[in-house]
Amino acid sequence: MPIPLLAEGFGRGLSNIPYVWAVAKGAAIAGVVALLKLYFGGAKCRSERVMHGKVVMVTGGTSGIGAAVVQELAKRGAQIILLTHHAPSDPFLVDYIEDMRTITNNELIYAEQVDLSSLHSIRLFATKWVDNAPPRRLDMVILCANVMTPYFGTPQETLDGLEAEWMINYLSTFHLLSILSPAIRAQPPDRDVRILFSTCSSYIGGNLDFEATNKASKAGSTSYSRSKLAVMTFAYAFQKHLDAYKRPDKELNNARSFIIDPGYCRTPGTRRWLSGGLIWGLFLYLITWPLWWLVLKSPIQGAQSYLLAAMDAEYGRGAGGKLIKECRQYEPLRLEVKKEEVAKKLWEFSEKQIENLEMIGAKRRAAAKKETAQNKSADKTVPNGASSGGKSEPVPGSRRSRKAAK
């Protein structure tokens, strides 16, 4: 069929071929869409690394980019420890881990319950990890947990009284790594340890307003950009903290931190933000989904820079503290993230904020524990069915009740 059509076109002209211009227009449109999709899809990680025996701790690893990173590393044999808000016995988490083990053919995927919105929960997990002797193996920490309040949404507040974006996006990272720091520095000198932080371009418009972090903010985008700016500042400071440590074996520091910007992706968080947290917003998002499919990356495309930082041999030697975007190294557009005085102020503020909130939380838990103990004590001293005068009512069917009936 195509040969006669081509012969007809060459012999009598293209205009004599049926629907030739419609086909040409369709092919041109398809070609443009394919080129745009390829462009917006971003760079692809070409690096490979043997991950068998590597222990990788991941936050935010059950959805979005975090889930894509977990799946790719697990396929390469890494042992994954998921830090999740859900208990390991939660049906959703059990099914998720079983599915992930089946897909990756890797049984070394586990979960630990850590509520990143609770300073107390983070401390319980991290101190338990650090107290282990000898130190547990830890090759990588990937921090993908992230929350963003939709523009029309109501700002969330944690149990400690902090805005959720500041707590989950930044302060939980600071608290976790501050406690895990001895375990990271205690790893053998021949072990390649990497810490991957998450950021996005919104940090450019951020402002480290420390007073605003003590209460829930109405400006979701403002608090989100502030948390990302704080993450980047802490990442560079944490690398200096690791480099300043003098190992007992006189070896050089073998832990390196990297900041990853995955770009704009079609994750549940992005969908929630685009829809504004509203039903009609979600309906509008579904109508315009072809546009978002074209210009936004899929989670696996957004995971490519994480995979490069996790596996590329180049990042296993030399200095750490690098920003990676589109599988390339970049310099931050906000130069103050590297300034020592800014990092010192942020570090001191974070430590004091955690100290004050943990003190308040400890008093609250002690009061709740005391109240629970008093209630249990009262239940034991007062028999079931006893009256306020100390005399219990006769139980139906007992000898006292039958006697009273007479």
Q: Which of 54, 228, 297, 325 is an active site residue? A: 228
d(CA 166, CA 152): 18
On whether the CB atoms of residues 125 and 83 are closer than 8 A, the answer is: yes
> Sorting pLDDT into bands at 50, 70 and 90, what band is 380?
confident
Q: How many CB atoms lie within 10 A of CB 346?
A: 20
Residue 309 lies in a domain: yes
* pLDDT tens digits, one per residue of 282-306: 899 899 999 999 999 999 999 999 9
Residue 45 lies in a domain: no
Q: How many CB atoms lie within 10 A of CB 238?
A: 24
Measured CA angle at 116 (ends 110, 120), to 5 deg: 105
DSSP 8-state symbol, 118:
-
* pLDDT tens digits, one per residue of 99-115: 999 999 999 999 999 99
pLDDT value of residue 388: 46
Name residue 111's beta-bridge partners: 82
- Average of per-residue pLDDT across 39-52: 89
* pLDDT tens digits, one per residue of 142-171: 999 999 888 777 778 888 888 899 999 999
Q: Look at residue 201 and tell me whether its pLDDT is greater than 50.
A: yes
Helix (H, G, I), strand (E, B) or coil at 309: helix
pLDDT value of residue 18: 65
Which residues in 278-303 are b (16+ Cβ under 10 Å) and which e?
A: eeebeeebeeeeeeeeeebbebbbbb
What rounded mean pLDDT belongs to the chain? 86
Residue 1 lies in a domain: no
pLDDT value of residue 275: 87
On whether the CB atoms of residues 190 and 252 are closer than 8 A, the answer is: no
d(CA 9, CA 53): 63
Number of domains in the chain: 1
Helices and strands per DSSP (H, E), number in the chain: 15, 8
Tokens representing 300? 């696996």
Residue 269 lies in a domain: no
Percent of the chain residues topping a pLDDT of 90: 57
d(CA 30, CA 20): 15
Which residues in 128-144 are b (16+ Cβ under 10 Å) and which e?
A: ebbeeeebeebbbbbbb
Name residue 394's beta-bridge partners: none
* pLDDT tens digits, one per residue of 182-200: 999 999 999 999 999 999 9
> Sorting pLDDT into bands at 50, 70 and 90, what band is 219?
very low
Residue 13 lies in a domain: no
On whether the CB atoms of residues 226 and 206 are closer than 8 A, the answer is: yes
Tokens representing 273? 């933000």
d(CA 241, CA 253): 10
Following CA atoms 83, 84, 89, 93 in sequence, which dihedral angle do they give, to the nearest 10 degrees? -110
Whichever domain contains 67, its CATH number is 3.40.50.720
> Sorting pLDDT into bands at 50, 70 and 90, what band is 217?
very low
d(CA 145, CA 117): 11
Residue 91 lies in a domain: yes
pTM, two decimal places: 0.85
Amino acid symbol at 131: D
pLDDT value of residue 221: 62
pLDDT value of residue 10: 55
> Sorting pLDDT into bands at 50, 70 and 90, what band is 27?
confident
Helix locations, 88-171, DSSP H: 91-104, 119-130, 164
Domain encompassing residue 122: 55-264+302-355
Closest-CA residue to 342 (of 259, 238, 237, 196)? 237
Residue 85 lies in a domain: yes
Percent of the chain residues topping a pLDDT of 70: 86
The residue to which tokens 């590393």 are assigned: 73
Residue 79 lies in a domain: yes
* pLDDT tens digits, one per residue of 125-137: 999 999 987 889 9
Helix (H, G, I), strand (E, B) or coil at 148: coil
Burial of 103 (0-12, 13-18, 19+ CB in 10 A): exposed
* pLDDT tens digits, one per residue of 328-379: 999 999 989 999 999 999 999 999 999 999 999 999 989 988 888 888 888 7
**Is residue 370 annotated as part of the catalytic site, yes or no?**
no
Contacts of residue 385, defined as CB under 8 A and 6 or more positions apart, other chains included, come to: 392, 393, 395
